[in-house]
Structure 1
Amino acid sequence: MAFSVKGKSAIVTGAGSGINLAFARLLLDNGCNVLIADLALRPEAQVIVDKHTPQTTSSRAVFQKTDITDWVQLERMFEVAEKEFGEIDIVCPGAGVYEPHWSNFWRPPGSAASCDSPAGGRDNKKPKHIIHISSIAGQNPAFAAPIYAATKHAINGFVRSMAYLDELFGIRVTAVAPGVIKTPLWTDHPEKLKMVAEGADAWVTPEEVAEVMLALVQQEKVSEIIGDKKGQGRQFAVQGGTILEVAKTVRAVSPYNDPGPGNRPGNTASDTKFVVNESIELLKQKGWGASKL
């Protein structure tokens, strides 16, 4: 069920920068309280938090330092949000990292044992919305970043698997699948910028993605034209399991026989061969893959 964000409250992880910050800003501008959960705030995020204090605006922003790999900190994040705002209506688990240069897939760092623990006490009958950030990498292979691509494929499968929650319990789980977005995930990594050919490839802005995210929450249909509220252009129905690809236009991603992102403006990185070749050279290094036993 669609609902207005005005007067609601949200948790947005990874909102210290990029798409998640743009979404948090848009929620705040539309009258929604936001808890920003991240490791730190970039200067532009700090400005937003400072602006939305109880003394200055009706919508409030609260920063909670959170490492999303730590279950205790995640629980604390919810506790703080509920203490500050009461009921939480929207959750955007948008925090993520791109594999470091070359790729930790080829040099597995190991991982800690699962710390998952059941949490309860948050169920009620009001409509809720959980919006995930996937990627066109969830439809494409990515030799140089296989873990990133795998996680985005996983998000798509997870979102679609949660579709029945909408009909059964009023909890709508959706996702956006952005193309090439001008965020620090790209601009802070020169090795990634090699893939983008200026003039040939078009950047999508975080604000454009955020507009589609807000539309997913507030509307029963979303236009292929970003920011359109008058029903112009092709319309995509929103329900549990909906995934909308966000390039310079919007496209619904089908679970079956989907044609893929293609070469739509905002979806292309023309020079991926640079990072692919760098990864291949890494694999050719003497001793790579040799047993250390």
Structure 2
Amino acid sequence: MTEFNLEGKKALITGGGSGINFALAKGLYNLGCSVLIADISLQKIAKEWLLSTETSQASQRALFHEADVTNWAHLEELFDVFERQFNGQVPDIVVPGAGLYEPSTNTFWGDQDSTNGSRYKIFDVNILHPIKMTRIAVRRMTRAGKKPGVILHLSSIVAQKPSVTNPLYSVSKQALSQFVRCMEPLERLAGIRVVAVAPGVVDTPLFRDSAKAREHIDLENDFLLPPDEVVKGMIALITDSKYPSGTVLEVADIGGWREVKLLNDSGPQGRASASRAKAVEAIKLVEEALRKDLRGSRL
């Protein structure tokens, strides 16, 4: 397999309005790739960046389309919009990167009412959206004869670290890593590589702007990985032929990358692989939920 040259390529990225996926969009654009960012909204810095790209050459574009990734019709529409914007072309690169961190939405331990809703939204965003988007991408790429194509997923080190404090998030990322491994034969069958990056704790708005998330992360004492380091790993996964379909690449330190093995893996490595500073406080949140359960049983 030859190296995947980004010059002139086109990428579709969900969750690109902020954080890691926005940093990836910029990184790809700087290497000659056009990008369509999909998200429910854009952070100010993303809006300003998109405006700044409007003065660049017409052959390369950076665009935004509002979308709710939990709505499968929106996912299908994203590809339609992409093809309209890029003269009927399908993406060379698809990144279903939108995701939720458990304390940001309805949580396992915060669930005190079995009749309130019928699902955990985190699974819709973190599991069902990337799987469905992969299916759409494979169908569109295959029909268009798009070879090679790359589908890059955003997993996490918590796929290997069971967490009683954030069980739904941990489960969602483990499911995604396993899904990527299931797609290993796709490179041989269709010329499409499906790969994943598994970052440690990253310095993004997901943690800095969420009071709930900061109950689990100590911004002063935990090591938070710079987003640009994760982007380097993501771009390597896209462009480097040494990462075949099914690869899960852990990025948990500056220059500390390694491929995660399916069996007999040594576990997450690097400074960003552990957020120890608030571990005791996080367990207290579980204990409080159990006390509420106990009080409820006495009513």
Distance 1:203 1:259 in 2: 21
1:7 is matched with 8
Q: Secondary structure at the match of 2:272?
A: coil
Q: Is the 8 A contact 2:17 2:42 kept in 1?
A: yes
1:50 is matched with 51
| 1:143 aligns to 2:164 (yes or no) | yes
Residue 93 of structure 1 aligns with an amino acid whose one-letter code is P
Q: Is the 8 A contact 1:52 1:60 kept in 2?
A: yes
Inter-CA distance 125–291: structure 2 relative to 1 (3 Å threshold): farther
Residue 172 of structure 2 aligns with an amino acid whose one-letter code is T
Report the alpha carbon displacement of residue 172 of structure 1 after superposing the two structures with TM. 0.3
1:38 is matched with 39
1:77 is matched with 78
Inter-CA distance 137–280: structure 2 relative to 1 (3 Å threshold): same
Q: Secondary structure at the match of 1:285?
A: helix
* 1:135-187 residue CA offsets vs partner (Å, 9 max, x unmatched): 01111011121111001000110000000001221100000000010111111
Match for 2:280 among 273, 278, 286? Answer: 273
Residue 98 of structure 2 aligns with an amino acid whose one-letter code is A
* 1:30-89 residue CA offsets vs partner (Å, 9 max, x unmatched): 111111000000001111211222x42342111000000001111111111111122310
Distance 2:94 2:275 in 1: 30
With the length of structure 1 as denominator, give the TM-score of the two structures.
0.85
Inter-CA distance 265–100: structure 2 relative to 1 (3 Å threshold): closer
Q: Is the 8 A contact 2:141 2:149 kept in 1?
A: no
Equivalenced residue count is: 274
Match for 1:110 among 106, 118, 121? Answer: 118
1:165 is matched with 186
Residue 47 of structure 1 aligns with an amino acid whose one-letter code is E
Q: Secondary structure at the match of 1:251?
A: strand
* 1:82-125 residue CA offsets vs partner (Å, 9 max, x unmatched): 11122310000000111236852242631399997985454115
Match for 1:211 among 189, 209, 232? Answer: 232
Q: Is the 8 A contact 1:68 1:95 kept in 2?
A: yes
1:241 is matched with 246
Match for 1:96 among 95, 99, 113? Answer: 99
Among the aligned pairs, what percent are the same residue?
38
Inter-CA distance 84–290: structure 2 relative to 1 (3 Å threshold): farther
Match for 1:183 among 180, 183, 204? Answer: 204
Q: Secondary structure at the match of 1:266?
A: helix
Q: Secondary structure at the match of 2:29?
A: helix
Distance 2:173 2:51 in 1: 33
Q: Is the 8 A contact 1:48 1:61 kept in 2?
A: no
Match for 2:150 among 129, 133, 145? Answer: 129
Distance 1:202 1:68 in 2: 30
Residue 110 of structure 1 aligns with an amino acid whose one-letter code is S
Inter-CA distance 69–185: structure 2 relative to 1 (3 Å threshold): same
Distance 1:279 1:155 in 2: 25
Report the alpha carbon displacement of residue 288 of structure 1 after superposing the two structures with TM. 6.3
Distance 2:146 2:235 in 1: 22
Match for 2:259 among 235, 252, 266? Answer: 252
1:230 is matched with none
Inter-CA distance 199–38: structure 2 relative to 1 (3 Å threshold): closer
Task: Point out where structure 2 has 5 or more consecutive residues left out of the alignment.
Answer: none
With the length of structure 2 as denominator, give the TM-score of the two structures.
0.84
| 1:155 aligns to 2:176 (yes or no) | yes
Q: Is the 8 A contact 1:102 1:279 kept in 2?
A: no
Q: Secondary structure at the match of 2:177?
A: helix
Q: Secondary structure at the match of 2:65?
A: strand
Between Structure 1 and Structure 2, which shows a larger proportion of helix residues? 2
C-alpha RMSD over aligned residues: 2.6
Q: Secondary structure at the match of 1:190?
A: coil
